[in-house]
Amino acid sequence: MTTQTAVQGMYLAGEWMTREAKIDVYDPHDQSMICSVPSASAEDMLLAIKEAKLGMKIAAELPVYKRMEILHRAAGYVGEHRDRFARTIAKEGSKTITEARGEVERCIETLRISAEEARRINGETIPFDQRPGSEDRLGYYFRFPVGIIGAITPFNDPLNLVAHKMGPAIAAGNAIIVKPASVTPLSALLLAEAFDHAGLPPKILSVITGSGSKVGDVLVTHPDVRMISFTGGLETGEKITHQAGLKKISMELGSNSPVIVLKDADLAHAVSATVSGSFSAAGQNCIGVQRVYIQESIYDTFERLFVEQTAAISVGDKMLETTNMGPMINENEARRVESWVEEAVGKGANLLTGGMRDGAYYAPTVLTHVAKDCTIAQQEIFGPVVLLYPVRDLDEAIDLSNSVNYGLHAGIFTENLENAFEAITRLQVGGLMINDSSDYRIDGMPFGGVKGSGIGREGVKSSILEMTEPRVVSFKLKHRKHE
Ligand code: NAD
């Protein structure tokens, strides 16, 4: 497949640039090369930052109605080219064409919400006279853009997670430099193309393609970059947090999300929703289900239905409408998952279905009796593997859910309000889905986690708050009269 991006190169401050050094982009289905993008140098990133210093002034001075027009036009462009966007996501990544189409629609929505939220960047009045001696003061605060935002994104939602950085950054009047995942840079470049066509003034946006250690480091450590908005793995997130120094940081990291199924749940619904939440994007989904805690009296039925539905998932060619699940992002990742499953089986786990690898493909897999000290019981699997556990009651399910160093989303299936509220109060997560799996999100809600799952919240409105700074204004009045 050739895409226009392959010809245009990377987007540096409004210019399409090519470089001799290249990163080859492969389709994980058969390892065929799709195209090459520039492998940017540290100097390229320094140039992007220098241009963004001019861009941040242009961005801040853009009236809100113009930011809104640009964001709506970019959304319109994505909509007009939705098929090319979807094919690009499906080709360079793991998603099936159906999943990719869903991501394109969400990207359009993210950009449109960003346009809408641009008009709601409000301050508040401040009652200064709450303090004796300040009776003669009136004032309020505005919100101002932070300046230059460095955005670093992962491979698994290569378009919409980039839109979640670009949309709010532009809505809030910032310049933004995006470093997309090296394995999936094409969707991010297509989004730059959309903003280019939408009339975004040059210098406000760059998409620099290159390795995390070479160009990512420059972006993270540069003092002129005032905020790092990172989405990716815990290990990388921790490294970046240490390197970044004194700047704003937003961290959207991983998880090994729990789902609790109680005996009063609608069982058929719980099974199908949990299977779907476990294997979307071949399990490479930050809110994908990894651990399921099922109350003992319904455990056997749940396990039987869960395994039946998992075994029926059709795995194969991503571009076919009938395929439910594609490959993992590359063979190395599939081998990692394979080794984690082998470790668990070696320590006594039961493999109920799956457990087979073919190149980058790993079969949807269900394990039980996984020992606590297995890697797969503690870390994020980020692959198509689910662990089922019987539990006595809600108390035990909550304790086990909280027993890991992650806390992004959780799900609970119950028809009992008391149980739901118990879970709301005690689960250590950023989002809890009642009667759904952990795999639910809309783009206009606060999104993020606690513990090792991150710092701060995305979701357009929350991102805009993170990407702006309040500035307090106080008027001292000479002749304020007090009754
Ligand atoms: P990753 O951490 O390997 O890479 C993420 C990005 O960081 C890539 O662009 C990579 O090139 C860059 N990077 C790597 N080293 C760097 C460095 N030293 N300096 C700067 N940049 C560097 O993650 P991944 O494998 O692409 O994505 C999977 C992870 O992302 C999973 O853990 C998943 O849960 C997480 N994720 C989280 C969310 C969320 O919103 N919470 C959403 C999607 C994915």
**How do residues 145-170 score in pLDDT, each as one tens digit?**
999 999 999 999 999 999 999 999 99
Assess whether the C-beta atom of 225 lies below 6 angstroms from ligand 1: no
Q: Any catalytic annotation for residue 286?
A: yes
Is residue 7's pLDDT more than 80?
Answer: no
Nearest C-alpha to atom 42 of ligand 1 is from which residue?
286
380-425 tens-digit pLDDT: 999 999 999 999 999 999 999 999 999 999 999 999 999 999 999 9
Alpha helices in 280-328 (DSSP H): 296-311
CA of 158 to the centre of ligand 1 (A): 11
Confidence (pLDDT) at 136? 95
Assess whether the C-beta atom of 446 lies below 6 angstroms from ligand 1: no
321: exposed, middle or buried (C-beta count within 10 Å: 0-12, 13-18, 19+)? exposed
Residue of 193, 286, 338, 458 marked active site: 286
Detail the DSSP E strand segments found in 399-457. Answer: 409-413, 431-434, 454-455
Nearest C-alpha to atom 26 of ligand 1 is from which residue?
154
Q: Any catalytic annotation for residue 374?
A: no
**pTM of this structure:** 0.96
Nearest C-alpha to atom 36 of ligand 1 is from which residue?
232
Average pLDDT of every residue of the chain:
96
The ligand 1 atom at the shortest distance from the C-alpha of residue 157 is 43
CA of 233 to the centre of ligand 1 (A): 5
Assess whether the C-beta atom of 35 lies below 6 angstroms from ligand 1: no
Distance of alpha carbon 302 from alpha carbon 307, whole angstroms: 9
The ligand 1 atom at the shortest distance from the C-alpha of residue 447 is 40
CA of 373 to the centre of ligand 1 (A): 25
Is residue 57's pLDDT more than 60?
Answer: yes
The rounded percent of the chain whose pLDDT value lies above 70 is 98
Cα distances (angstroms) measured from residue 65 to each of 61, 71, 119, 202, 225: 11, 10, 8, 18, 26
Residue type, 197: H
The rounded percent of the chain whose pLDDT value lies above 90 is 97
* Longest CA pairwise span in the chain (Å): 82
Confidence band for 482, pLDDT divided at 50, 70 and 90: low
Residue type, 413: F
Confidence band for 222, pLDDT divided at 50, 70 and 90: very high
Q: Please answer whether residues 45 and 150 qualify as being in contact, where contact means their C-beta atoms are separated by less than 8 angstroms.
A: no
Confidence band for 445, pLDDT divided at 50, 70 and 90: very high
Confidence (pLDDT) at 188? 98
Confidence band for 242, pLDDT divided at 50, 70 and 90: very high
Confidence band for 185, pLDDT divided at 50, 70 and 90: very high
Residue of 252, 331, 380, 466 marked active site: 252
Is residue 3's pLDDT more than 50?
Answer: no
Confidence (pLDDT) at 483? 52
Assess whether the C-beta atom of 209 lies below 6 angstroms from ligand 1: no
Confidence (pLDDT) at 2? 41
Is residue 1's pLDDT more than 50?
Answer: no
CA of 232 to the centre of ligand 1 (A): 2
Assess whether the C-beta atom of 236 lies below 6 angstroms from ligand 1: yes
Confidence (pLDDT) at 325? 98
Confidence (pLDDT) at 68? 98
75-92 tens-digit pLDDT: 999 999 999 999 999 999
The ligand 1 atom at the shortest distance from the C-alpha of residue 408 is 41
The ligand 1 atom at the shortest distance from the C-alpha of residue 286 is 34
Q: Which domains does the chain possess?
A: 10-253+453-470 (3.40.605.10), 257-434 (3.40.309.10)
Assess whether the C-beta atom of 455 lies below 6 angstroms from ligand 1: no
Q: Give mean pLDDT, residues 9-23.
A: 96
343-354 tens-digit pLDDT: 999 999 999 999
Cα distances (angstroms) measured from residue 205 to each of 352, 360, 471: 49, 34, 25
Q: For 450, which DSSP code?
A: S
CA of 128 to the centre of ligand 1 (A): 44
> Of all helices (H) and strands (E), which one includes residue 362?
strand 361-362
Confidence band for 478, pLDDT divided at 50, 70 and 90: confident
CA of 182 to the centre of ligand 1 (A): 10
89-140 tens-digit pLDDT: 999 999 999 999 999 999 999 999 999 999 999 999 999 999 999 999 999 9
